[in-house]
């Protein structure tokens, strides 16, 4: 019997992986048909470009523990908050591909296509596994179809997407999927804890989801100690153990005592160790788990200890994420980051886009609410808690919708599966029509397309001739727009923050500004130059050895800064008033990125 169950389990894994691979190949073919356009036009994805720069620097000899970005910010650069856990596999792919092709440029292209494709395959696979555990084999095909469509159109798995959000989503979905399978597979909970630790180590954005998973496991243990004891213990051990491994392998011993609230450091390690080992202890000791009351009190005490440790040792991490950000940067940078906007801000500025981000999660939440009428299952607790948690995060910052859209696929797949079964039993036209409607409603791409169509109708009169020209690049996002800059001798370039990462990726120059909250000094230096007078800009350029000025007239950031200071250096330059200390580079006149030499 056990051997038959093991064979059936292995067979289902192979089947689900085959479907996920097929979905990956279909999406890869679609991307190939467009010529992998994202590789020549990053579309404003600054993080992926800077990640590529970071990997290049590491391959060129920069130390494993040295996360300085030396070519951005004031002299000496600044320390990035990203993890080498993402750099390492990218570097490995590039090294292997360069050995096979003999070309580093080709190797980078291969990595930019292969890495997000592999992550996409794994994310679809774990989504299908979660749907299977949640609603049976009938939910697998719907999960593959609507899951692949959702993950493709949210954009984080496109070619060139080297940022860590796709890694985090894949690991979080893997952790959830493995927890759903944990009652039937002894090793699943341990690996789930491993994935939870890794997703947190990659970036703090997933802290709410990891906390939600941990709280669910703890509460499930309170309710059902017999079925959940081993699962909670193994998850806790995996979470604590991998956190310790990450701590010693990615943080230099000299920094072990330093607390960093925005990156994996002593703070996160201490919390993970206490939470993971504490959960394992509570589930293992009879004195703490003999009755439901004891289990609840023990876990409550563990939560109090965690809170007390953080409040006593790391009180700075209890503040808002950007509490210490300079007010000017908050006003002129943070408040204009699309992914950091709230649901209410988007409702006021771009109401049509709400459909793309919030409809399928809301439908999925409604479906979960309907399940309250029947017997509640552990699967419902895990999926429902993560879905609601992700939706709450997305209401605060729209970036959370990436996770809520993905989690929504699981109950939506179950919904489709139930209607497919109805259509099979009763193949009436009305049932088939209802099933078709369920399919359409569940595909997030449908809502995204409707949102895009609605926006285009309302904004048709605002679109300029330049924006309609597919060969133009008003926002300065294409690699070709930086070709002239790349041909000039390396120097420091004065540019807006959204040009920072492209300049580093497409040339050997350095910049002051970049859209990163740790680069406070560099960003303020650029703002002082752009918002001040031409003479103030000249003094900054002279003091910091600026050799070039890059202007992108069509950038929303340039227009915003010009509106902020109509008589400032940047605004006057955009009006055609070139100070005598700047000399236009003739070949760039009229191009998206106009260059000026500092005399």
> What tens digit of pLDDT does each residue of 194-212 get?
999 999 999 999 999 999 9
Contacts of 481 (CB under 8 A, 6+ apart): 473, 591, 592, 593
pLDDT at residue 420 in the model: 94
**Per-residue pLDDT at 462 exceeds 60:** no
HSE (side-chain half, CA atoms, 13 Å) at 378: 25
Mean pLDDT for 252-268 is 94
pLDDT value of residue 355: 87
Number of Cα atoms under 13 Å in the Cβ half of residue 357 = 26
Other C-beta atoms lying within 10 Å of the C-beta of residue 387: 24
Q: 116-120, 302-306, 312-316, 468-472: which range is least confident on average? A: 468-472
Give the tokens for residue 147: 């899951």
* Dist CA 395 CA 392 (whole Å): 5
Confidence band of 450 (pLDDT split at 50, 70, 90): confident
CA angle, residues 471, 476, 478, in degrees to nearest 5: 60
Residue 453 has pLDDT above 90, yes or no: no
pLDDT of residue 470: 42
Summarize pLDDT for 368-399 with one digit per residue, the tens. 999 988 888 999 999 999 999 999 999 998 88
Res 438: pLDDT = 95
The average pLDDT across 207-232 equals 94
- Complete domains list, the chain, with CATH: 14-34+68-163 (no CATH), 183-320 (no CATH), 335-462 (no CATH), 479-598 (3.40.50.12610)
The two structure tokens encoding residue 216? 């669910």
Check if the beta carbon of residue 347 is closer than 8 Å to that of residue 354: yes
- Comparing C-alpha atoms, which of 117, 141, 113 is closest to residue 127? 141
Write out 283-305 in H/E/C secondary structure. Answer: HHCHHHHCCHHHHHHHHHHHHHH
Give the model's confidence band at 426: pLDDT under 50 very low, under 70 low, under 90 confident, else very high: confident
**Half-sphere exposure in the Cβ direction for 105 (13 Å, CA):** 3
Q: Work out the average pLDDT over 510-514.
A: 97
pLDDT, position 591: 95
C-alpha–C-alpha distance, residues 46 and 479, integer Å:
12
Give the number of other Cβ atoms within 10 Å of residue 294's Cβ: 17
- b/e map 75-85, b = 16+ CB within 10 Å: eebbebbbbbb
Please name which of 497, 500, 498, 522 lies closest in space to residue 510, comparing C-alpha atoms: 500
DSSP-derived secondary structure letter, 547? E
pLDDT single digits (tens) 518-542: 999 999 999 999 999 999 999 999 9
Q: What residues contact residue 115 under an 8 Å CB cut-off, 6+ apart?
A: 89, 90, 93, 162
Average pLDDT for 471-494:
94
Instruction: Report the range of poorest mean pLDDT among 201-210, 221-230, 280-289, 365-374.
Output: 280-289
Does the pLDDT at position 4 exceed 90? Answer: no
Q: Which burial class, exposed, middle or buried, applies to 208 when counting CB atoms under 10 A from its CB (0-12, 13-18, 19+)?
A: middle
**d(C-alpha 541, C-alpha 550), whole Å:** 13
What's the CA gap between 490 and 102, in Å, rounded?
26
Q: How far apart are CA 583 and CA 596, in angstroms?
A: 5
Q: In whole numbers, what is the pLDDT of the chain averaged over residues?
A: 92
Half-sphere exposure of 346 (CA within 13 A, CB side): 23
- Number of residues assigned to the chain: 599
């Amino acid at each position: 019997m056990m051997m038959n169950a093991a064979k059936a389990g292995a067979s289902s894994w192979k089947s689900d992986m085959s479907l996920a691979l097929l979905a990956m190949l279909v999406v890869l073919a679609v991307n190939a048909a467009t010529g992998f356009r994202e590789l020549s036009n990053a579309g404003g994805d600054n993080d992926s470009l800077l990640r590529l720069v970071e990997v290049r620097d590491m391959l060129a000899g920069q130390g494993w523990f040295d996360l300085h970005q030396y070519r951005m910010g004031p002299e000496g650069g600044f320390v990035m908050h990203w993890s080498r856990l993402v750099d390492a596999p990218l570097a490995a792919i590039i090294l292997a591909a360069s050995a096979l092709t003999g070309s580093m440029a080709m190797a980078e292209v291969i990595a930019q296509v292969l890495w997000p494709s592999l992550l996409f395959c794994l994310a679809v696979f774990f989504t299908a596994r979660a749907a299977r555990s949640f609603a049976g084999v009938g939910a697998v095909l719907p999960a593959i179809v609507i899951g692949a469509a959702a993950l493709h159109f949210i954009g984080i798995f496109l070619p060139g997407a080297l940022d860590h959000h796709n890694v985090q989503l894949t690991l979080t979905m893997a952790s959830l999927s493995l927890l759903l399978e944990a009652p039937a597979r002894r090793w699943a909970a341990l690996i789930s804890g491993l994935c939870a630790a890794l997703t947190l180590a990659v970036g703090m954005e997933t802290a709410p989801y990891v906390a939600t998973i941990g709280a669910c496991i703890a509460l499930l243990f309170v309710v059902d100690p017999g079925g959940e004891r081993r699962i909670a213990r193994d998850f806790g051990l995996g979470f604590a153990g991998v956190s310790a491994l990450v701590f010693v392998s990615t943080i230099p011993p000299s920094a072990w005592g330093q607390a960093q609230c925005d990156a994996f450091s002593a703070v996160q390690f201490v919390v993970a160790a206490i939470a993971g080992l504490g959960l394992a202890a509570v589930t293992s000791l009879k004195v703490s788990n003999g009755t439901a009351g004891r289990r609840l009190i023990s876990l409550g005490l563990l939560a109090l200890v965690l809170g007390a440790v953080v409040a006593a040792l790391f009180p700075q991490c209890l503040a808002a994420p950007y509490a210490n950000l300079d007010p000017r940067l908050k006003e002129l940078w943070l408040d204009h980051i699309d992914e950091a906007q709230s649901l209410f801000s988007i409702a006021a500025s771009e109401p049509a886009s709400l459909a793309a981000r919030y409809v399928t999660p809301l439908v999925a939440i409604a479906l979960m609410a309907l399940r309250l009428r029947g017997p509640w299952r552990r699967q419902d607790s895990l999926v429902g808690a993560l879905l609601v948690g992700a939706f709450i995060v997305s209401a605060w910052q729209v970036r959370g919708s990436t996770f809520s859209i993905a989690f929504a696929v699981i109950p939506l797949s179950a919904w489709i599966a139930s209607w497919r079964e109805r259509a099979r039993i009763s193949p009436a036209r009305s049932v088939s029509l209802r099933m078709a409607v369920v399919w359409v409603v569940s595909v997030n791409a449908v809502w995204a397309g409707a949102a895009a169509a609605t926006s285009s109708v309302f904004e048709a009169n605002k679109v300029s001739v330049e924006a309609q020209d597919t060969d133009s690049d008003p926002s300065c996002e294409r690699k070709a727009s930086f070709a002239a800059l790349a041909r000039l001798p390396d120097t420091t370039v004065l540019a807006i923050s959204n040009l920072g990462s492209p300049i580093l990726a497409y040339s050997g120059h350095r910049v002051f500004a970049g859209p990163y909250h740790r680069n406070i000094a560099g960003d303020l230096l650029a703002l002082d130059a752009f918002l001040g007078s031409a003479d103030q800009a000249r003094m900054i350029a002279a003091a910091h050895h600026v050799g070039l000025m890059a202007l992108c007239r069509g950038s929303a950031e340039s227009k915003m800064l010009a509106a902020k200071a109509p008589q400032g250096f940047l605004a006057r330059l955009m009006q055609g008033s070139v100070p005598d200390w700047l000399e236009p580079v003739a070949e760039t006149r009229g191009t998206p990125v106009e260059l000026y030499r500092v005399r």
